Amino acid sequence: MTHPERKVALITGAGSGIGRATALALLRADYLVVLTGRNENKLRATLADAPELIDRAMIIACDVRDPQAVADLFAQIAGAYGRLDVLFNNAGTGAPPVPLEDIQFEHWCATIDTNLTGAFLCTQQAFKLMKAQSPMGGRIINNGSISAHAPRPNSAPYTASKHAMTGLTKSTSLDGRKYNIACGQIDIGNAATDMAIPMQRGVPQANGEIAAEAVMDVDHVAQAVLQMAELPLESNIQFMTIMATKMPFIGRG
């Protein structure tokens, strides 16, 4: 199946939050979109929000922590479309917000494996497909975080994974040049998803206080990802920060 007039995009973690909003934004922008995540029912719920676009979408359940599952995912994309133009490494998770010394090893591993190793495995397979397709090249967008710049209290696994994502973004950008693969990172702060509900109620601040934080419409994030995706490959947004204007990040809160 080939669709030379449309770009093909893969969104990981497309069953909720930023992944869901971005998948819908790309579908509405006339992309062919592959939605992946561990929960197929959540992926189907994403498409239920836009049934008129379902003919341009493909659902493939995949655990991005599993190398073979990721290889199979990309093999299915290659078989269906023959190419991949955009990969949005969005799948992510966090660990319980406990003191660093009380973090369980399995929570550390689950966070690193999903947020970092999953992105690496997808990037590796994207390289293999993008450098072999004609025309050669494509774009990889990594979901960083405000936590790629500064931590929240009791967030060592998540913060470490997002700082590492910045290193992966830089290496991907450098190593992808010879294949015409562009890579950029979007660092997001307080998008109004289910994960942000506690922030609106009140979360710990660096000074020990509990304070409610401002949030922003998740569709603004999706439009920012679309802006990055739409650039010709001769141009790249290396890093973009999009955040709720009044969240406590710049300055002292």
Q: Is the previous residue joined to 153 through a cis bond, with omega within 30 degrees of 0?
A: no
Greater model confidence, 216 or 4: 216
Distance of CA 211 to the CA centre of its chain: 27
φ/ψ of residue 49, rounded to 5: -75, -15
**1: pLDDT confidence band, cut at 50, 70 and 90?**
very low
Q: What pLDDT, in 10s, does the model give residues 15-37? A: 999 999 999 999 999 999 999 99
Res 212: pLDDT: 86
Is 31 an active-site residue? no
Res 199: pLDDT: 81
Q: What pLDDT, in 10s, does the model give residues 168-184? A: 999 999 999 999 999 99
Token pair in block for residue 218: 């998740």
The sign of the CA dihedral 54, 57, 59, 62 is: negative
Residue 115: which H helix or E strand, with range? none
Among the listed residues 31, 81, 158, 179, the single catalytic one is 158
**4: pLDDT confidence band, cut at 50, 70 and 90?**
low
The residue type found at 24 is L
Q: What pLDDT, in 10s, does the model give residues 195-236? A: 778 888 888 888 888 888 899 999 999 999 999 999 999 999
Q: Where are the alpha helices (DSSP H) in the chain?
A: 17-28, 40-48, 67-81, 105-112, 118-132, 156-175, 197-201, 218-230
Q: What pLDDT, in 10s, does the model give residues 81-130? A: 999 999 999 999 999 999 999 999 999 999 999 999 999 999 999 999 99
pLDDT at residue 3 tops 70: no
Burial of 194 (0-12, 13-18, 19+ CB in 10 A): exposed
Q: Which residue has the tokens 């934004």?
A: 25
Q: Which residue has the tokens 């341009």?
A: 56
Measured CA to CA in angstroms, residue 253 lies from 153, 209, 247 at distances of 14, 11, 8
Q: pLDDT > 70: what percent of the chain?
A: 98
Contacts for 76 with CB less than 8 Å, ≥ 6 apart = 58, 60
Sorted by where each starts, the structural domains of the chain and their CATH numbers stand as 8-243 (3.40.50.720)
Q: What pLDDT, in 10s, does the model give residues 63-77? A: 999 999 999 999 999
Closest CA to 43 of 34, 52, 35: 35
Task: Tell me the pTM.
Answer: 0.95
